[in-house]
Amino acid sequence: MLYCHRMTIATHTAVGTVIGLSVGNPLLGFVIGFISHYLLDLIPHGDGKISDQLRVFKKKKMPITYGTIDAITSIFLLLIILNISPEAHTKVFSAAVAGSILPDLLTGLYDLTKVRFLRVFYRLHFFFHDYFIKRWHDVNLSYSLIIQVIFIVCVLAWL
């Protein structure tokens, strides 16, 4: 479920960038980035139908394609940020971005390995991710992606 059950990695990367360029300490940047991931995932972001493809219909093509495009887009985004912002060449930037995207890695590692000590991160992730979706409803994926792209462009413009 790593493929789809999250705000895009690109958006988490953009938030990690803002944190990394706003705090002065790598450990603080990492911790704030890590917490920001769960808070951001609270916002319904339209990935329910992609998730259903995997969970209900056992179809992997769409979730894997979505996840792959997101991962490669995030690498491109990082390359752009590192090129246009000399301030991003710092340990605090790296730590904040790493903290911002780490929860999805831990969730995916648990999904793959079922290693017991990772289960807490897995449960934490879905507690936050599903909190408002269960009580309210999910949003349209297209609108969510448009808003996330606008947010990322705003972060790039801010650099």
Which residue number places its CB atom closest to Zn ion? Answer: 6
Cβ-based nearer residue to Zn ion, 102 or 159: 102
Cβ-based nearer residue to Zn ion, 91 or 134: 134
Beta carbon of residue 107, minimum distance to Zn ion (angstroms, whole number): 6
Cβ-based nearer residue to Zn ion, 70 or 104: 104
Q: Please give the Cα distance from 150 to 129 (Å, whole number).
A: 21
Asked if 41 is part of the footprint of Zn ion (rule: CB under 5 A), the reply reads: yes
Q: What is the DSSP letter of 3?
A: T
Locate tokens 């056992």: which residue? Answer: 58
Entry field: residues in the chain: 159
Asked if 47 is part of the footprint of Zn ion (rule: CB under 5 A), the reply reads: no
With a CB cutoff of 8 Å and minimum separation 6, the contacts of 84 are: 156, 159
Residues that bind Zn ion (CB under 5 A): 6, 41, 104
